[in-house]
Amino acid sequence: MSQQRHGSTPGNTGAVPAFPDLPEATIARLPEYLRALHNLAESGSETVSSEGLAAAAGVNSAKLRKDLSHLGSYGTRGVGYDVALLVDQIEYILGLDQRRAVALVGVGNLGHALAGYDGFASRGFRIVALFDSDAEQVGKPLGDLTVRHIDELGMAVVEEGITIGVIATPAGAAQAVADDLVAAGVTSILNFAPCVLSVPAGVDVRKVDLAIELQILSFHEHRKASLTAIPGGRSAQPGNQEAVGS
C-alpha cells in the first residue's frame, strides 16, 4: 500500500528521511517492536541487540533486521540499536508523535471494557467520545465521559478532531454505524463486530473477532490430538509445540 508522508520527521540523528513504503507484514510487527522497546527502556536499557529485541518481540532476528532496515535503522555492529532513537523512529512511522482522538460506538459489555482500558492512553490514543443508540445508555457517565446519542456523532467528530472510530455494537448495527462514521469524516475504523464492513476507498478497517481466534486455536488443538492418535505420530510434548500467530 502506497503511503505518503505527513508532518515533519523526528529531529534526532538517524531520523527517517522520507515516509517509507512499508510491507503490510512489517507494519503489523512494528507495534510489537515498540512494546518491547518501551519495556527495555523502563528497565534501564539504552541499547539492545537485534537478537535481544527479536526475542522480546517474538520474531526471528533476520526478520527484525529486515523490518528495521525499511526505517533506515541498521544498528551498530557490536553495540546494537539505540533504544530511545528506535522508539522515536517507530512512533513517528506509526503516527504516535501526536495523540489520536478516538470515538467508541456501542457501550455494552465490550464497549464498557474498552472505554475503561488504561492502555490506550499510554499508546498515544484518547477515547474522547462514547456513543450509543440505546436510550437507557445515553446520558450515563462512563469514566470521565458521558454517553452521547449516535445522532451527535458528526458534531463530535468535528469538535474533537476524531479520525478513528471503534465499533463495539452487535453485528446487525455495525454497517450502519460504519456508514455514520464515514459520513462524519472518520477515515479509520476498528471493528469488533463479527461481520464484514463495506467502506469506500480511502477508509481503512481493522477487524478483531475473538471467536475466530478461538476457532483457529481449536483447529490446532484438533490437529495435535489427531497427530497423537496416529500410530507413530508426533508426540504432543512441549518441545514439539510451535507458537501460533500471524
Could you tell me which residues are annotated as the binding site? 106-111
Q: Binding site for NAD(+): which residues?
A: 106-111
Neighbours of 229 (CB within 10 A): 8
At 128, list the grid cell.
474522547
How is 24-79 classified by DSSP, letter by letter? HHHHHHHHHHHHHHHHHHHTT-SEE-HHHHHHHHTS-HHHHHHHHHTTT---BTTT
Burial of 63 (0-12, 13-18, 19+ CB in 10 A): middle
Which ranges constitute the DSSP H helices of the chain? 24-42, 50-57, 61-69, 83-93, 109-115, 119-122, 153-160, 171-184, 210-229
Alpha carbons 221 and 217: distance in angstroms, whole number: 6
